[in-house]
Amino acid sequence: MSGTSVSSPSINIAPRATGDVRRVATREAYGEALLQLGDEREDIVVLDADLSGSTKTRAFGAKHPERFFNMGVAEANMMGTAAGLAAMGKTVFASSFAMFAAGKAWEQLRQSVCVPNLSVKICATHAGLTVGEDGKSHQMLEDIALMRVLPNMKVFVPADAVEARQVIRVAAETPGPVYVRLSRAATPVVLADEYQFEIGRGTLLRDGGDVALAACGVEVAEVLEAAEILAREGIEARVLGLASIDPIDGELIRQAAEECGAILTAEEHQVNGGLGEAVAHVLVESRPVPMHMVGMRGEFGQSGKAGELIAHYGLDGASIAAAAKDLIARKG
């Protein structure tokens, strides 16, 4: 099959990393970006729910103890405190595991942060299946859905450490609530250091016209692997990185639908309410095409190594490539 080249000059073509593959957890990049922001801006305040070693906020606390508060195992209280600080003009980063930041504190996020539209940045680590051995109690697979539904909340899921650093800096500069989903596991760095994240913009990571593969977070590396597998079979897949889920890049999605004729989405999350539904929402209103959503389908995870779980639930590159071939057959 032959590929179709992207025609719109407004499409954001992302520079790709070259050389040996580096693996860095996005939570590590969060800690580094937060420390830099703390050095640059006196208004940055950080709250953590007794998990600063795991969320990587500890370095900020050590250097700026007067602007760091360990709220203990009290996530709901942490979000209320964050709202109060933001109402006084501070830019607040509040961190915990995704299960607790998005799940336990949802009411406070809605009432105290989103209703008054305050500048609280919820940076949730340990999301998705790649939490691994901690199992289903900690593998948060519903947080994108919970955050997408909230008015005023922006939702970002960076693909790698490079994008995570960019996302944190943009979040700090952007008024209002932001939810950033971060990973525990070290994952491949796919973007070049000069990459620039923009709110509401996706990225073109690989061109092709036979099918479009769209992903966020750790699944971006998996869809790039799937595209390589497909290319060896003469199938040219377009790969889209959609770190900005809300707001989402409708133009990029619509053009992929028009030029590829089918879109597959992949996410380390329930397909209900996640990236796939966000993409489907764009398409159903403007350019319906055959679509398939790779993700968790109404089940919880289980304890295991991150890579093994990704493969077990069909979220690895080989499984995505197979699903993409089935989708191409549906194009008619």
pLDDT of residue 21: 85
| Peptide bond before residue 247 is cis, with ω within 30 degrees of 0 | yes
pLDDT at position 2, please? 47
Residue found under tokens 């800690």: 31
At 1, the pLDDT band (50, 70, 90 cuts) reads low
Rounded CA separation 85/158 (Å): 26
Say which of 75, 142, 267, 268 is annotated catalytic. Answer: 75
What does the pLDDT read at residue 15?
A: 81
For tokens 């998705």, what's the residue?
Answer: 128
Q: The whole model's pTM is what?
A: 0.95
Q: What is the pLDDT of residues 219-230, one digit of tens each?
A: 999 999 999 999
Q: Looking at per-residue confidence, does 332 or 280 come out higher? A: 280
**H or E segment to which residue 75 belongs:** helix 75-87
75 catalytic residue (yes or no): yes
Contact assessment for residue 46 and residue 67, using Cβ atoms and an 8 Å cutoff: yes
How far apart CA 224 and CA 190 sit, in angstroms, is 9
Is the separation of the CB atoms in 45 and 85 below 8 Å? yes
Report the distance separating Cα 312 and Cα 42, nearest Å. Answer: 46
User: How far is CA 180 from its chain centroid?
Assistant: 7
pLDDT at 269 over 70: yes
- Model confidence pLDDT, tens digit, residues 100-141: 999 999 999 999 999 999 999 999 999 999 999 999 999 999
What are the structural domains of the chain?
23-188 (3.40.50.970), 203-329 (3.40.50.920)
Rounded CA separation 139/181 (Å): 12
Check residue 50 and give its pLDDT. Answer: 96
Residue showing tokens 């709901």: 76
DSSP-based three-state secondary structure for 225: helix
pLDDT of the residue at 81: 98
Question: φ, ψ for residue 137 (rounded to 5)?
Answer: -65, -25
Of 166, 175, 221, 194, residue with least CA distance to 36: 166
pLDDT at 9 over 70: no
Identify which has the larger pLDDT, 217 or 286. 217
Asked if 220 and 161 touch (Cβ cutoff 8 Å), the reply is no
Q: What is the pLDDT of residue 148?
A: 97
Average pLDDT, whole number, for the chain?
95
Question: What percent of the chain is modeled with pLDDT above 90?
Answer: 92
